Structure formats: structure tokens, C-alpha cells
Chains A and B, each alone.
Chain A
Amino acid sequence: MCLKFYGELLEAQNQPVHSSVSWAAERHLLSALMWTPEIRHVASRKYAGQWREITGPAPVKMSKRRSAALTGAQGISLAQKLLRERLCHQKLPDQPVGLDSQYKHLLELLRRTAVHGESNSVLIVGPRGSGKTMLLGCVLRELMSLKEAQKNVLLVELNGLLQTDDKIALKEITRQLHLENVVGDKVFGSFAENLAFLLEALKKGDKSSSRPVLFVLDEFDLFAHHKNQTLLYNLLDVSQSAQTPVAVLGLTCRLDVLELLEKRVKSRFSHRQIHLFSSLSFAQYLDVVRAQLSLPPDFPDPKFSDEWNHSVTKLCEDKTVEEILRRNFNGSKDFRSLHSLLFLAVSRVSVSHSTLREADLIEAWRLISVDSKANVLHGLSILELCLIIAMKHLNDTYDGEPFNFQMVHNEFKKFIQRKSHSIHKFEKPVVMKAFEHLLQLELVRPVDSGVCKVQREYQLMRLMLEHGQVMEALQRYPQCPTDVKQWALSAFG
């Protein structure tokens, strides 16, 4: 909340603090914010007396005695921190849920490279949000806990979004292997020479055998778009030719990634793929929700965490909540969409509203499932809405063929002359300006993105809205004149 404006609000309203309605809402808001010492200092400088009332008594510094129960605010703060870390910071869970066989397979593969010096290549394939990075993170965490692996293994992480070119990728590999000084100013003839030099340099550090290197390629399909796929070819070539133990791990969301590879690259790939398709049933999904929202047993305040976990269990048994979760589950089974839903619900928890309630979840679901184009249509002027209805009629009459501004204006004029009482005739340039606003909002798009020499009024366009969306927007439109509604509903324009 803006402190300065809040103070002005109080002065402007000149009302006692507790009785104003907005003040109650503000109190929720303010106490939901977790104040760092810096912010409290800023706040207290400006509004000395009022902060006691807002944030409650000053939080006690966490003393060394662990058994001291936390105050409400502190408990909420710590709970929020834990839950947020889980939901939006993507902290690695202890064990990935529902991915046991894939976990074992991957771990075994990497162990063979790290400990026994076998070269391998594998692709992890799964839709967005299914847990590829999470799975890899958990496996690497366990791998690095092995003593032999910890000493020896080198990790190089590349991302297709960042390393958009093979040269950049090579520089990044050099940097991550800490070989910049060794390379110095050398100029190499080809990519293969450079890579061979790097891997050779790794050998010299160790006695006879070289250290195993794990190459992790995130957004693997983007690497396949580079010129000649040199990076992929060379890495997979090294992995086949047994000089250095190298493991190439690709993570991608495209199921058809193998079709993107050239023949020579594909033949060097071991065709080992790990698929992550979620196989959860709805009951398991509910268990996951409960587990995600519950506080762990080592929470400092056992009483608070018991209360919290109890409320979460009760929440999951509620009918409306189950309905919402089922609708989300039917939409997508992955955890990322679940996390965003839960995050919106958890962020409403505050000192005065200290447990998670079903209203929170309902509100979170409403925020997620709203149609954004309907929101945009709500804010259009009535002239723009009439133009959209005219376009809808043209679509219905001519079966979705593209139209131009002249045709839309014609339809609109027919409406004005015949049926309208409330909308008076607007000049053509004014109607053109409204049409251009719709163009700017991308509710209408030109058919061939506009490089041609046609006049503005005659350029062919398409409407980017559906019949149902337009009708629904009309229902929600504030103070829509009845003749406009009638026109929209009539079948023949």
C-alpha cells in the first residue's frame, strides 16, 4: 500500500481509523505484506503512531530458544515463505512424485558415466510443466552426493534460449569448463577442432583418464535449428567415439524432436528417450494437492503447523474445492498450472485471515479461468461494439470470408438507417478511427500482414473473435442499448 497516499486518504476522508470500510480492507492488505526491517523503518519514520495498530505488536526477534512459540504474524510469515518456495521458486522436492521408474533409469545412466566412464546420450521428453528440469535436478543432486562423482564430474549446462548460436555455445562451454586461460587467443579451424582441444585439455589435469563431462542441453529442439547442427553433431560424435566419457542429456518439450535431427546426427544418437507423461489419477492428484499445501513436520511451531495441516485436510474434502480441482485436472495434469492456482490462493493468507479457505480457492480459480478477450470487449465504446457486431453479421452471411472496412461500414449504415434509435449517424472518419482502434487491439487482423499497396479502407481483414464470445460479451456489456442487442441477435443483420 502506498504509505503516502494512505496518509492522504486518511486526511481526505477525515474519519476515525477503524470505522471506514476501506480501512478494513487496507488492514488486510497491509498485514499481508511481510515487512523487512528497512520498510518498517521507512514506515515508522512517516507514521509513527499508526503502525502499532496495523501490524500488531513488534515481532520478537527469533531468539535462540527453539521452543518459544511464534506469534501469529511470524507463523504466517514463515508458512508463506515455505509455501512460496515450493510453489513459485521451484525448489526441488525430496522425491519427485510419480516418476520413480524414470528417476531410476536416469540415475543409473548417469552413474555409469560418472563412475565407470561410459559415454551416453539420452533425451528427456515431456510437455511443458511436466517436471523435466525438476527430475534432472533431483538426479544430479543424488549423483553429486556420491563421493567418486563429486570429485571427478564436470557439469556443463547449456540452454537453447540463451545460446542461440554455435559460437556462443562454444564460448559458454569453454567458460563453464574453466578453460578460458588455456584456450587464450587460439584460433581454431573448425568447431570439431575446438571441442577436441577442450576435451584434450581436461585430460592433462588427471593422470591417464580424463574426467567425465555431463552436457545438459535445455530446450534441445532449439539447438537443432542451428546451422548444420554442428554442436549437436560434435557432442554426439564425442559420445560415440569413446575418447572422453561424455554424457549428453537433452531436455525438450517436442515429441517429434528426432525428426528435427539430421541423418548424421540422428545416427550418432543412442535413441534413448525418457518420456514424462503424467499418469496420475484424480485421487492421487488430490493427495498431491494436500501434500503441496501442508507444512513439513520440522516447522518451528508445531501447534501452528498442526492447525494449518488440519485446515488443509478439511479444505480438500470440501465439495466446491474438489469441483475446482477436478476442473483444473481435466484441463491439464501438470504441476505448473496447479502451482499457479495454489499460489494465488496462498497469497491471500494474512494475519487476520490466517487459514486457507474455500473462498480463496474459488477466487483464485475465477482469476485463472476468465476469458481475457471478454474482458477486453467489456471496455470498448458502443461504436466499436457495433462494428464488431457488423463484422459478426458479415461472417455469418459470407461464411467467414475476409471483409474490408467499406463492407463493415456499409453494414453499420444499414443498421443505422433501418433499426437504430439510440445511435446517431457518425461520419466515416470517426468510424474509421474506431476501426483502427480495434486493429490496434488485434481484435481484427489483416489477412496478409499489410505490406501491400491497397488503400486502408479496402484491405481485407478477419475478425479474431468467435460468435459465442461476441454474444457473451454483449450480455455483460454495461448499459448496452436494446436496439444494438436486438440487431446482434437477429439472424439477417
Chain B
Amino acid sequence: MKIHICLTGIKTIILDCNNISQYSVFLINSALMNRRDIMSAVNPDQYSYPSVFIYGHRATGKSHVVLSIMKDLELPHASVDCVECVSSGLLFHQVLSAFFGPDAAALLPRCPSLSDFVRLYKQMSSNSPATQTRYIILDRAERMRDMDFSLLPALLRLQELVNDNVTVILLSEIVWEKFRPNTGCFEPLLFHFPDYSKGKSLVQILSWDHHPSYTPELYASYINILLGVFFSVCRDLRELRHLAVLNFSKFCEPLEKGEAKESDIHKLWKNIEPHLQRAMQTVYLREVSSVQWEQQQMDEKEATTLRVLSAHAHIELPYYSKFLLIAAYLASFNPARTDRRFFLKSHGKIRKTNFLKKHEKTSNHLLGPKPFPLDRLMAIFYSVVDSRVAPTASVFSQISSLVTLQLLSQVGHDDQLDSPKYKCSVSLDFILAISRCVCVCVRLLDLLALSLVIQSQVVRQERSLFTAVSNLHLL
């Protein structure tokens, strides 16, 4: 029994849900305080405050509540999403056409400035004066900070500039302090939309999507299990709804197969919990698309490895490129002084000195890869690779292709031809995965393990380390 899911986006799921009215009623009840504040502040046929700023986390109902107020009271409003407005002219066009019709918007010149917009607005509003307050709603208003510097302060005092009863409502995730321009501006009224609490609100909202062929109690217990896994990581309502909808069929599998009844919550939990853990590592991170996830659920009889979208698992490198990459990693993360000890056959007496310099102790591993010159890379490469390799152009061109694949990155200018410098841009997990593919002796893994040991600075018994290093070269 499949739940009909619309996979084109999470927003569509919410809109297609036939419980939309209940959802809205719920929002009205729980966000009553906010609505009352907003409603009393933005009074339709009296003067209202020139600008209002509403902030809150994602999916807390900001746009929904404001737009539903506008639609149901049938107020003249223009709703603009600032992400769509790559230039301010698009914003002006949308506002004018929403209030005064497309003919008014056509009067705007080609690249309208704010001055043109205000002049045209004044002209239009004197032709058709407002009986009620007009509202301009700007969603995702944080994008406005990147547009013209004068757009935000001007819109905040639009009422005064056009001499008309208009209110600008800004909706955003980011707090007002980050919007304020340097020399100040007209301060809007601030309203906060609180997040949903786990027990009362979130479970209630999510339980409305229940499938008609199962009881609401079963769905509520499923939601509780889901929240038990995901709530400590993510509180976004849209994400949780998406995950709930995707995984419900797997949850109901034992019920369908007849292995469990609706009251055997424990059995159902044991069935679904590892699945949800896997979902956290794949679908939640968008490593796997929702379609692929569903596909896998259908074919999954035994625990197969999930094919992930992430490029790293797919990549297939030529033989020498793998060695080059491993050599690059060693060059980036081991300090140059230690090369002698690791890679030379005979390195003389080992003195009992402090193994790591002071400045390297804290954060070799934490600060990131260091640049290394090409010669050092080739030296390490020759000592790491197991067969004799001639320094032909094919080997060097593999370095360039590694740079193109962004597994290495070039540091410094392009025109330094004699000694280019590189940096390794992959993580240890990737290198370990590669070195497992390469059928090489244990020595390589030991080298990697050694560099790990250096990085974690647990070098207490230096003597034993030195013996380990010397034993390595006797292999």
C-alpha cells in the first residue's frame, strides 16, 4: 500500500496534503499570539506602522500565516520573493503590477531606479487612492542586503516617501541586527515566530499526514519513533515531514506481511530503527535522492551497500594516480623534516629529541593540508610506489588531471612553471578507501597509520616509535 508522494519538492508535499485546512487551523491556534500581535499591528483600514519585520526559523509558518491573513481578509497586497529579484527592477515591476495592474508596470523605464519607482507609485496612487492599507510582503528579505544599498532603507520608510498608506512586511530567518545599515534607518516593528515544541505541536502536526488505512495512533507512535531518531539533529518541519512520508511504507512492512500487529510497537521499532539510522546517513544528507531511496526500499531483501551520490565513492582512478594521491596526502600532512626518517633506507642515528616541534604540536591535523613542492611529491611517490616508474610525461599529466578533478589543488600562481606547489584536498577516509583498493603491502598502511599517530599526538614513548620506524625499513 503506497502513499502517494509528490517527489518534486517538499513544499509540494505540504500543499498537496489534503489536511491543509487542519494544518492552518492548528497554526492559527498555536501561533495565536503572533497572529493577534500582527493583526492588531497591521490594521486594514487604519494607519499601520510603515514597516514590520518578522523573523523565525524555517518552516515555522511565517509566510503561511501572513499570506493567509492577506487572502482571507482580501487585502490589497503584493507578495515578492527576494530570491527571484536579481535586480531591483524586478521587485518594482512585481509590486506595481500587483497593486495597479500590468499597465502601470509597463510604464517603468528599462532599468528602473528607485526614484522612478517612487514617482510612478505616487502618480498611480493619486489616481486610485487607497481606502485600505496596502501591504508589500518581501519573503527571504536577507537577499535585499546584497542589492542596492539604498533599497532596504528606502523600503522601510516607503510610507513617508510615497505619502500613501502602505506597509512593508519583511520575512526572514536572520535577526534584524544583521540588516541594519551603518548609518541607521527607520526601525521596523519586530515579531518573532517561535519554533514548535516537540511534545505538543510537532507530533500533532506530523500526525495529520496519517494514511487512511491505518489508525492515527499507529501513525502517532511511528512519528514518536521518528522523532526519537531525528529530533536531536534536525527540527525543521519540512525535513521531518519528508522523512516521515518516505519511510512509512517500510514501517508498515511487517504489518502487511502479517508478522506483527498494530499493537506490537516494540517489534515495529526494531524493524524500522536501523533503517532510520541509514536514512540519516543517506537521504537526510541528500547523498541519495528520494527516488533512489524508495527504489532501494523496494528491492532491498538483504543489506546491500547503498549506492551514494557522493562523487568520492564513484571515482575510479588509474593505478599510478592512486599512488600519487596517497603521496600527496603524506606530503601535506607530515612535516617535511620527517620525510628522511620515513622514506630513506638508512637514516643514521636516531636521537632522542622531541619528535614534534612546538608549533606543530597543536594542530597539524586540525589546521588543514600544507602546500608542498612538486619535487617532494615525486620523491615520496618514488619511495611509495612498488615498481620502478620512469618519469615520463604520462605520470606528470596525471598530476594535472588530479588537479582538474579537484583532488589536489594548486597553490600559488599559474605561471610558476619551475616549481609548482600543490595541496591535497581529500580527507583521510577517502585515502584509506583508495589504499585498500590498491593491492599493496602492509607497509603503506603502516605509513598512513604513522601519520595518523603523529597527528593525534599520542607520541609518548618515542623509543618504541623509533624502533617501529626502523623495523619498517627492514621490510
Contacts and interface: CB of A to CB of B under 8 A. Distances in A.
B46 A80 contact: yes
A5 B74 contact: no
B46 A162 contact: no
B367 to A, nearest CB: 7
A237 B60 CA distance: 56
Interface stretch (A138-146, A240-248, A319-327, A370-378): A370-378
Interface stretch (B23-31, B95-103, B252-260, B386-394): B23-31
Nearest to A370: B192
Contacts of A222: 150
A379 B177 contact: no
Contact of A81 (B47, B177, B280): B47
Contact of B235 (A12, A253, A381): A381
Nearest to A375: B192
B238 to A, nearest CB: 13
B48 interface: yes
A249 B358 CA distance: 64
A483 B452 CA distance: 30
Interface string B184-199: 1111011110110110
A108 interface: no
B232 A383 contact: yes
Contact of A372 (B73, B176, B363, B411): B176
A347 B40 contact: yes
Contact of B55 (A3, A36, A337, A372): A372
A84 B234 CA distance: 42
Interface string A349-380: 00000000000000000011010110110111
A372 B190 contact: yes
Interface in A405-463: 406-407, 410, 423, 426-427, 429-430, 433-434, 440-442, 453-455, 457-458
B41 A5 contact: no
Q: Taking each of A90, A344, A372, which has the highest tally of chain B beta carbons within 10 Å of its own beta carbon?
A: A372
A118 interface: no
Interface stretch (B112-120, B268-276, B320-328, B467-475): B112-120
B57 interface: yes
Interface stretch (B154-162, B377-385, B442-450): B154-162
Given A162-B150, A164-B114, A442-B174, A344 B366 contact: no
Interface in A1-50: 1-5, 8-9, 12, 22, 25, 28-29, 32-34, 36, 38-39, 42
A28 B36 CA distance: 9
A89 B46 CA distance: 10
Contact of B56 (A80, A379, A458): A379
Interface string B17-54: 00001101100110010011101110111111110000
Interface string A174-188: 010000000000000
A179 B398 CA distance: 71
Contacts of A2: 24, 28, 68-69, 72-73
A334 B159 CA distance: 20
A320 to B, nearest CB: 21
Nearest to A3: B72
B368 A454 contact: yes
A379 B132 contact: no
A455 to B, nearest CB: 6
B132 A36 contact: yes
Interface string B175-218: 11110000111110111101101100000000000000000000
A128 B153 CA distance: 12
Nearest to A158: B115
Contacts of A81: 46-47
A26 to B, nearest CB: 8
Contact of B285 (A373, A407, A429): A429
Nearest to A12: B25
A254 B113 contact: no
B285 A162 contact: no
A343 interface: yes
Contacts of A328: none
Nearest to B148: A164
Interface in B280-331: 280-281, 284-285, 287
B131 interface: yes
A85 interface: yes
Interface in B63-120: 68-69, 72-74, 113-115, 118-119
A488 to B, nearest CB: 16
A163 interface: yes
Nearest to B426: A455
Contact of B49 (A161, A343, A429): A343
Interface residues of A, number: 85
Interface residues of B, number: 84
B73 A84 contact: no
B29 to A, nearest CB: 6
B43 A34 contact: yes
Given A162-B118, A372-B55, A33 B44 contact: yes
A340 interface: yes
Nearest to A22: B29
B425 interface: yes
A347 B41 contact: yes
A347 B150 CA distance: 30
A379 B41 contact: no
A220 B46 CA distance: 32
Given A81-B46, A90-B160, A367 B195 contact: no
Interface string B405-427: 00001010000000000000101
A378 B177 CA distance: 17
A33 B194 contact: no
B140 to A, nearest CB: 12
Interface in A234-272: 253-254
Contact of A88 (B24, B50, B74): B50
B285 A88 contact: no
A348 interface: yes
A205 interface: no
A253 B48 CA distance: 25
A458 B45 contact: no
A300 to B, nearest CB: 17
B39 A32 contact: yes
Nearest to B368: A458
Contact of A382 (B197, B232, B287, B409): B232
B396 interface: no
Given A5-B24, A478-B197, A344 B367 contact: no
Given A84-B43, A343-B41, 20 more contacts: A1-B28, A2-B72, A3-B72, A5-B28, A8-B21, A25-B32, A29-B35, A36-B44, A39-B74, A84-B47, A128-B186, A336-B186, A375-B55, A379-B57, A379-B235, A380-B235, A423-B232, A442-B178, A458-B368, A478-B198
9 contacts: A34-B45, A39-B45, A162-B115, A340-B189, A367-B37, A375-B194, A430-B284, A442-B174, A454-B368
Interface of B: 21-22, 24-25, 28-29, 32, 35-37, 39-41, 43-50, 55-57, 60, 68-69, 72-74, 113-115, 118-119, 131-132, 148, 150, 153-154, 159-161, 165, 173-178, 183-187, 189-192, 194-195, 197-198, 231-235, 280-281, 284-285, 287, 363, 365-369, 409, 411, 425, 427
